[in-house]
Structure 1
């Protein structure tokens, strides 16, 4: 056992998500390290289940919050973290639910395939296939594997969906292109399929650039495409409002407004400086919040940050509220140990509404605080702010960022309660 522990401790985490040789120099090395006794290992994960499959979520959350999840089990743990499965369910109950969801997904896929045969073919749309008024575009066939729309599209929902398929395709080609995984067109096509089907099912949100960055890890971590879809769907339950855009507002504005309030409360001098630079709306933080720091961290470190945040925000009612939203659920203060430590703070303060993804706001605040001195001294305009924050890419420590975020959260609650 000692020898195995030593091997694991020295394991090269980068090896789980190999980088193409020509991209090695441009990709930051991962800082995440599996730590014996802290990181959730496969052995610890399996030991957290009872004989019939009930999961000791409190134990799992404690381990994730201490040291993240070993790459070999990330996908299956994420399904629980995101509310995809009830920890109190049995192995048999989850197998039935998984099979039902797979059937549902492949039925949806077949529906989409009838409209666009490239769905599920291992290929994907790379060029616009219809005009704004629904007319087929014959010149697109060469880029779309000789496939083209044959008849005028008159159904508004179908047309709206078809118009965005090429944008999804262009984004897929750019997604995590430095990873060996995406050298395979069939893997790119799996990402495109999931995004295309999600877009078809959610016309109110549609597809927005950045969803590809959220979905990509699910495609890599979960072998069955349907499981990856449902994991992404659960992640989007938390994030979808960030992507909702109208003629007058962006969904992420709510979080930007909260970020402004947090910095104004915990660091009024920095807030005033940003205000003076016409940056008081914190628009420079949009990308961090939209795609959850995918560009600021290496691939594996971003995943580590996500699972740390999801564990800290975990609410045991998520599964039932997602499955039966019309009934709603009540948070029981007696079950506090089953909540993530961030979510627990809100329960204890008497605030019972959901706070999905607000920890991300405090992580951005922690990033700003680490650059406090430089921002105050060197930032003479918004371009300087963007440049200073741009320098953090690949140089952030996910564990420290979460730890500092919790400290800022404590400080914010303390100061806000005094006001």
Structure 2
């Protein structure tokens, strides 16, 4: 166990203090730490794939038939747990969530076995003499067949033959605000992905989109990339449900934003606002992904968005952490105009009018998000401190062993979980995982404030084995601040969300939930 002096020095090194009116950010680190480069990962460490033992529930057969086998691997996930809460008891919900986790674990184990088999085949081929092995085409064929079968096992962007690709943009798609701005062909979709996309398109093209009963329900398990921009705008409350009012609302709100820019942005050079603008200017290059943020045009857009928001919200002003919350919106809305991965895309190649639309839409949607969690960023950030305390008490109930281990080594939840709340886990998982996470957050009631707490609890307990192996204060804190998630994808996020949902139903309605 580290001495008091060692802990103080370590804590001092890992607390980012900002002068002036900018609030402190604990545990912030830029850029994100790579455990592989610093030998944080234990050699040979593997994720447990032991299936969760399921408890028999007498009413489960009836529930299963009502949800159309929604929890079988590869089937439609539209009838998710979040929408069945009123008619199901807690045991049924927990049983079903456990099945989701077990199915994902089984799928992950199958992928792993398949990869090992192909590696053995490739190794055998490489050991053969040239005459026996033919040429590299055989090796390439084996490798490509494995890649194709693995990708089709659940990845949102799985590749399939062109014959299954979705038809070109229809009148329905155009009417709902789903447009093809790219000249390149859309990526091929699996039959299941095409079916889900069609459901979204039909729902969005209706005269009045049913947000609560249908769109949120459909979005919980992930939103197809093509319709994600318009869906996020609707779920965030930026656009109205009535399709006839959407275009007028967009034009009005975009003009309103640039009126704010014209009115306030020049004041960034005034002495009153210099500290705020300077801190924004310093923070933006530290954001992720670096290839996108370091583009001059992107930097200008982010600086305007953050400065205008800070000026219009004097109760909090700009606080480190808010800068990260712009990125998902900016990336999603940019994808509306290009098929390329945004991290490698030259944003300045887009027309000026398109960039203005992306900027204004990102500002308003970020503002809507922050409206629900603004106490996270007011003086002393009471919202975050309260949520960290709630997380500590929740973990003490769901996994006492992990909680006691942290207590025993004097690791405070504020030392690692402050950033989880301040940045909504954006510093802990890859950007695409954050976007998938936000699909669910926007479809959940109070997703960014309330449901996020359960996601953080599931996220912490997910690393139970590794946490219990660490016997030193400093090593524990290093691990918790730099978790090995750089290779995570949609599958890991789906498992995390399922576990968070199970925890929510097990504890959210308990009257003494947060009391010892």
With the length of structure 1 as denominator, give the TM-score of the two structures.
0.65
Query: Which structure 2 residues correspond to residues 254-403 of structure 1 after superposition, within 5 A?
Result: 254-313=386-445, 356-381=448-473, 383-388=475-480, 390-396=482-488, 397-403=492-498
Residue 385 of structure 2 corresponds to which residue in structure 1?
A: 253
* Corresponding residue to 1:10 among 147, 159, 171: 159
Residue 360 of structure 2 corresponds to which residue in structure 1?
A: 226
387 and 356 in structure 1: CA distance in 2 versus 1, 3 angstrom threshold: closer
Contact 2:394/2:457 (8 A) holds in 1: yes
Once the two structures are TM-superposed, the CA of residue 176 in structure 1 deviates from its matched residue by 2.1
* Corresponding residue to 1:408 among 475, 488, 503: 503
Once the two structures are TM-superposed, the CA of residue 42 in structure 1 deviates from its matched residue by 4.8
Once the two structures are TM-superposed, the CA of residue 229 in structure 1 deviates from its matched residue by 0.9
Residue 239 of structure 1 corresponds to which residue in structure 2?
A: 373
Once the two structures are TM-superposed, the CA of residue 167 in structure 1 deviates from its matched residue by 1.1
1:203 alignment partner, SS class: coil
Query: Which structure 2 residues correspond to residues 76-115 of structure 1 after superposition, within 5 A?
Result: 76-87=230-241, 90-115=242-267
With the length of structure 2 as denominator, give the TM-score of the two structures.
0.54
Residue 41 of structure 2 corresponds to which residue in structure 1?
A: none
CA offsets per residue over residues 40-96 of structure 1, 9 Å max, x none?
Answer: 965432210354343465333233222x12223322211122222343xx2222223
Distance 2:510 2:209 in 1: 41
Contact 1:375/1:385 (8 A) holds in 2: no
Residue 329 of structure 1 corresponds to which residue in structure 2?
A: none
Once the two structures are TM-superposed, the CA of residue 175 in structure 1 deviates from its matched residue by 2.0
Residue 174 of structure 1 corresponds to which residue in structure 2?
A: 286
Distance 2:257 2:203 in 1: 29
Aligned pairs, number:
308
382 and 38 in structure 1: CA distance in 2 versus 1, 3 angstrom threshold: farther
Distance 1:80 1:372 in 2: 37
Point out 4+ residue stretches in structure 1 off by more than 6 angstroms. none
CA offsets per residue over residues 280-338 of structure 1, 9 Å max, x none?
Answer: 5443111122111112211111110111122123xxxxxxxxxxxxxxxxxxxxxxxxx
Distance 1:237 1:273 in 2: 36
198 and 297 in structure 1: CA distance in 2 versus 1, 3 angstrom threshold: same
Once the two structures are TM-superposed, the CA of residue 257 in structure 1 deviates from its matched residue by 1.0
1:186 to 2:297 alignment:
yes
Distance 1:366 1:34 in 2: 31
Residue 196 of structure 1 corresponds to which residue in structure 2?
A: 307
385 and 395 in structure 1: CA distance in 2 versus 1, 3 angstrom threshold: farther
CA offsets per residue over residues 326-372 of structure 1, 9 Å max, x none?
Answer: xxxxxxxxxxxxxxxxxxxxxxxxxxxx6752211111111221222
Once the two structures are TM-superposed, the CA of residue 415 in structure 1 deviates from its matched residue by 6.1
Distance 1:355 1:217 in 2: 16
Contact 1:39/1:69 (8 A) holds in 2: no
Once the two structures are TM-superposed, the CA of residue 402 in structure 1 deviates from its matched residue by 0.6
Distance 2:220 2:448 in 1: 17
1:70 to 2:224 alignment:
yes
Contact 2:265/2:304 (8 A) holds in 1: no
1:297 alignment partner, SS class: coil
Distance 1:196 1:244 in 2: 16
Distance 1:271 1:361 in 2: 16
Contact 1:69/1:307 (8 A) holds in 2: yes
Distance 1:303 1:193 in 2: 22
356 and 218 in structure 1: CA distance in 2 versus 1, 3 angstrom threshold: closer
Distance 1:395 1:415 in 2: 36
415 and 239 in structure 1: CA distance in 2 versus 1, 3 angstrom threshold: closer
**Stretches of structure 2 lacking an aligned partner (at least 5 in a row):** 1-151, 161-187, 334-353
